[in-house]
Amino acid sequence: MKVLILCTGNSCRSQMAHGFLQSFDERIEVSSAGTEASGKLSSGAVKAMAEIGIDISGNTSDSVQKYLNDEWDYVITVCGGANEKCPAFIGNVKHRLHMGYDDPSHAEGTPEFVWSEFQRVRDEIKAGFWKLYEEDIKPQL
């Protein structure tokens, strides 16, 4: 089972989703990419995932161009902000899904509030991807 998770910068939401999905089942080959990859991971995303025991610090922020010629069972976009757009993936894909989440790296306010946004979005991504895994992906493995 091959899954590609797409976002704009591939630094935060897609990286968290990548970490969760990979942790759910080692039989899933997970990759993540960005339409405008930043080339680095969000320190807040790395910290939020480490807080719950998932290390994504070794992940890389890659351009979607790297994956255009591959075949995928699922391509999932996670861009949820009103100012962002993830274009449709054009590769050979069996299932295309959109699961939108706020971008905590755009949160403004006190350090405590910004941190709480990383935790909130992390927990929403975990819940959404767990449901997808349980209901759709796991039965196909």
Catalytically annotated residues: 7, 79, 86
Contacts of 80 (CB under 8 A, 6+ apart): 13, 100, 101, 102, 103
Q: How many domains does the chain have?
A: 1
Rounded CA separation 100/81 (Å): 8
Q: Does residue 37 carry a pLDDT above 70? A: yes
Tens of pLDDT along 44-60?
999 999 999 999 999 99
| 67-112 pLDDT, tens digit each | 888 899 999 989 854 335 555 556 688 998 999 999 999 999 999 9
The boundaries of the domain holding residue 118 are: 2-140
